[in-house]
Structure 1
C-alpha cells in the first residue's frame, strides 16, 4: 500500500455485498457515517474528513464504489445502474448492523446518496450532498439526450458513452497526467467538436496548496491498477437507470439534507444549475434542505477540507442519532 495512504491510519477490509466484494476504509466509533466518493477518485478523496469525523465521535466508513479502487469491477455497463450502487450500500449498512446511517456523497457519490435517500429513506438519518443536486426525472427524455441538448457532443458524459472510446483516448497519457487534468479542473468539461475531452483539459504542472504530488501519485497508482472502465460504466448506465426510475417519477426526497457546493463549481455555474438550486423546484423536491455555498471548485472536500468537515459535523449534530 502507498505510504501516503498508510499515513492516514485507517483500517481496511473487503466486504461481500450485493454479489461483489467492496473495499472500505474505516475509522472511529459511534454513529455510522458513509462517505461516498465520485469520479475519478476512491476512498482517499475523504482522507481529511475521515480523521476529523472519527475524532469527533463517529464511525466513518469510506467505500470504494464498484468499479473503483480495490472493489470488484463487473464488466457489463448494465451492472452500474443506481439500483446496483444503492444495493451495494444497503448491503454495506447491513454488514455493520445499523438500521440508520448518515450519508455524505460527492459527485457520483452524491447521486448515489440521493437515490439511497429516495429508495430507502428508512435507512438514512440524514444526507450531505456535495456539488450535485437532486434533479427530477424527465418523464419523456432520457438522461443522456437531455444532457446532450444542454451541453452538446463535447460534454464528457456524451464522450464516455461509447465503450472503448474514452479508454483509448485516456491511454495516450500516463496516469499522473490524467489525474492532474481532472483533479485540477476549474472550467466546464466541454470540449470543442471532434476533440476528446482528455485532450481538451489543460495539464497544470504547478499544483495548488491543497493537492500534493504524493496525492496525485496515490490516485494515479490506484487507477493504473484498476483502469477507468468501471468509472466510465456509471455514465454508460445512465439511460438504463432512467428507465428503471420510472416508478419514482415525481417522488420527493424526504430525509434531512444539506447541499454544499463551491461557488466556482463548473457544473453549478452553467446549464441553469445555480438558478435551479436557488429556486422553488429544488426545494419542492427536497423539502427539508439547507443550501450552503462555500469557496471552492469541484473537489471541495479536498480543496476546502476544514470548511466541508465543519459543515458536515454541524449537520450531524443538528440531527443526533439515538444509539
Structure 2
C-alpha cells in the first residue's frame, strides 16, 4: 500500500448509511485516510455478515422502501413536510418500524405525535424546503435500493484508527444481527483499531439530540489521533 503524506490524508465522519460509503472507501483507499468516525452504524460493507438483510421482519421499512414505487406512493399521500416529520419521529424510536399488511410506513405515526424536543418546527421547515427541491429519489436509491450491491474484497480489514458513537436507544441496534456484530467484537475483526462509545440516552439522531456531547467526543478522538500521527 502506498503511504501518502499526512497532508494528503483525511478523517471521514459519517452518520446513518454514510458508514457504508466510509467503509467502502476505507477498504478500497486506505492510504487516503488518517481514520474515520461513524455515528448510528458501524463499519459495514454491502453483503457483509452482521447486516442480515434477508431476515428483516415482514413489514419493516427497509424492504418496503426497496420496492420500486412503493415509498413514492406512500409519501405522495402527504406533503413533504409531513413526510419529514414522520421520518424524524419514527427514527427516534428504539424499536423497529414495522407496518401491518394493511398499513404503509407513513401510517405508523399518528398525526398528533409531537416532534422530538430537540427538533424544532424551524428545523423541520428547513429540511422540508430542501426535499421540496430535490425530491426523495436519491434518498431512496442510496442506500435502500443499492444495499444489495456487493463489494468483492478478499480481506476487508482496515487498520486505521476508528470511532463508533452509538446511542443505546438507537433502533439500528435492533437490526437482525447488528447488536451482536457490535457488542461481541465481530466488527473489530474488520477494524482492529476501533473504539466504541455507547451513549445511554442516545437515539438514531444522536448528533442532533446531544450535539455538545457528540462534538466533544469527536474532537477528543481527532485531537488524540492527530497528535499520535504527527
TM-score (norm 2): 0.85
Counterpart in the other structure of 1:316 = 222
1:188 alignment partner, SS class: coil
CA contact (8 A) 1:301 1:308 kept: yes
Counterpart in the other structure of 2:28 = 119
The correspondence of residues 138-287 of structure 1 with structure 2, limited to 5 A, is: 138=47, 146-147=52-53, 149-185=54-90, 186=93, 187-203=95-111, 205-234=113-142, 235-239=144-148, 241-242=149-150, 245-246=151-152, 248-287=153-192
Shift of 1:198: 1.9
Alpha-carbon separation, structure 2, partners of 1:286 and 1:118: 10
CA contact (8 A) 2:46 2:147 kept: no
Shift of 1:202: 4.3
Bigger mean CA offset, 181-190 vs 102-111: 181-190
CA contact (8 A) 2:170 2:203 kept: yes
CA contact (8 A) 2:165 2:196 kept: yes
Alpha-carbon separation, structure 2, partners of 1:136 and 1:110: 9
Alpha-carbon separation, structure 2, partners of 1:285 and 1:203: 43
Shift of 1:165: 1.8
2:8 alignment partner, SS class: coil
Counterpart in the other structure of 1:108 = 17
Highest RCO, 1 vs 2 (Cα 8 Å, sep ≥ 6): 2
CA contact (8 A) 1:251 1:285 kept: yes
160 and 182 in structure 1: CA distance in 2 versus 1, 3 angstrom threshold: same
CA contact (8 A) 2:24 2:45 kept: no
Q: Identify unmatched segments of 5+ residues in structure 1.
A: 1-97
Provide Cα deviations, 1:271-319, integer angstroms capped at 9, x if missing partner: 2322220113211111000000012110110011111101110110011
Shift of 1:130: 0.5
Q: Identify unmatched segments of 5+ residues in structure 2.
A: 1-6
Provide Cα deviations, 1:113-146, integer angstroms capped at 9, x if missing partner: 121111111111111110111246658x9x7xx4
Counterpart in the other structure of 1:301 = 207
Q: How many residues align?
A: 217
Alpha-carbon separation, structure 1, partners of 2:78 and 2:88: 15
Alpha-carbon separation, structure 1, partners of 2:47 and 2:123: 39
203 and 286 in structure 1: CA distance in 2 versus 1, 3 angstrom threshold: farther
TM-score (norm 1): 0.62
Shift of 1:203: 4.3
Alpha-carbon separation, structure 1, partners of 2:125 and 2:47: 40
Counterpart in the other structure of 1:133 = 42
Ranges of 4+ aligned residues in structure 1 off by more than 3 Å: 135-139, 201-205
Counterpart in the other structure of 1:31 = none
